[in-house]
């Protein structure tokens, strides 16, 4: 009798777990990632963690997981022991922030098919990323530059910038003049091909329109500060073009 009662309880818990994962609130809009390593049928729901629990992207994508789905499975240390030591999912599932990785196994290890989470040929259905409307301010005073996420994503995906060019943490990216070079920060795209060149300073440094004396630029038709400030590293060297009364090096 006791054995039957125990079996019924286990069966009920398993059914509840399955309903919770495969219900309509789960994966109709994508975002479900189905892991098959180290143990089969482990589901991670972006919808639950990001949309419902309001956990920021930086919580997982600042050293725990790469921005590419299922990339973690390629790591040799992507095993249960790593989770118990606080890595990967175990960073939060530690018994304090969320239930511990070595408890309540049925909440993650469920019998679910790839089709139920939108996987096609082993790849997850694209997750519709919520709009990230926050503007990030780099620098201060007349050097400040405001970056608007809404203008850049879409069409860009998060992984285009994070973590390849930028850390996902406010204040972690300090850009100096010496960083104005290809394949660093904004300048990985703003090269004159993918987006307007970073040499066109006024494209980002809007405040310079009032601060800098840019009338000579309009006269010469040269829209770049670097036509005069030839030292791209320190912006100290000055060339005054003959068209505006200069003699070359200043």
CATH number assigned to the domain comprising residue 81 = 3.90.10.10
Under the banding of pLDDT at 50, 70 and 90, the label for residue 97 is very high
The predicted structure's pLDDT at residue 131? 56
Q: Which long-range contacts (CB under 8 A, 24 or more apart) does 97-106 make?
A: 106/13, 106/14, 106/17
How many structural domains are present in the chain? 2
Under the banding of pLDDT at 50, 70 and 90, the label for residue 235 is low
Q: Indicate whether 125 belongs to any domain.
A: no
Under the banding of pLDDT at 50, 70 and 90, the label for residue 237 is very low
The predicted structure's pLDDT at residue 6? 47
Taking the CA of residue 120 as centre, how many other CA atoms within 13 Å lie in the half-sphere pointing to its CB? 3
How many angstroms separate the CA atoms of 221 and 231, rounded?
20
Least Cα distance to 70 among 132, 125, 129 occurs for: 125
Q: Work out the average pLDDT over 164-185.
A: 80
Among 68, 86, 117, the domain boundary falls at: 117
Q: Indicate whether 130 belongs to any domain.
A: no
In a shared domain, residues 184 and 152? yes
- For residue 224, give its domain range: 135-249
Q: pLDDT tens digit string along 29-76?
A: 346 788 877 777 788 888 788 878 888 888 888 888 888 888 888 899
């Amino acid at each position: 009798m006791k054995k039957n009662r125990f079996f019924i309880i286990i069966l009920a818990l398993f059914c509840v777990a399955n309903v919770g994962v495969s219900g309509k609130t789960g994966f109709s809009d994508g975002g479900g990632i189905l892991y098959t390593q180290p143990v089969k049928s482990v589901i991670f729901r972006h919808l639950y963690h990001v949309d419902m629990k309001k956990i920021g992207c930086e919580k997982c994508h600042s050293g725990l997981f790469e921005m590419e789905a299922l990339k973690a499975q390629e790591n040799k240390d992507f095993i249960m022991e790593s989770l118990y030591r606080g890595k990967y999912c175990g960073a939060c599932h530690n018994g304090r922030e969320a239930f511990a990785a070595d408890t309540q196994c049925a909440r993650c290890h469920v019998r679910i098919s790839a089709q139920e989470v939108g996987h096609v040929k082993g790849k997850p259905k694209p997750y519709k990323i919520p709009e990230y409307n926050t503007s990030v301010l780099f620098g201060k005073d007349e050097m400040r530059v405001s970056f608007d996420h809404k203008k850049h994503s879409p069409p860009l995906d998060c992984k285009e910038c994070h973590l390849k060019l930028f850390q996902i943490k406010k204040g972690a990216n300090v850009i100096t003049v010496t960083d104005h070079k290809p394949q660093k920060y904004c300048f990985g795209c703003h090269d004159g091909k993918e987006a307007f060149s970073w040499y066109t300073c006024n494209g980002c440094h809007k405040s310079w329109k009032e601060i800098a004396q840019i009338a000579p630029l309009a006269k010469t038709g040269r829209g770049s500060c670097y036509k005069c400030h030839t030292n791209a590293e320190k912006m100290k060297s000055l060339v005054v073009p003959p068209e505006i009364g200069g003699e070359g090096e200043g």
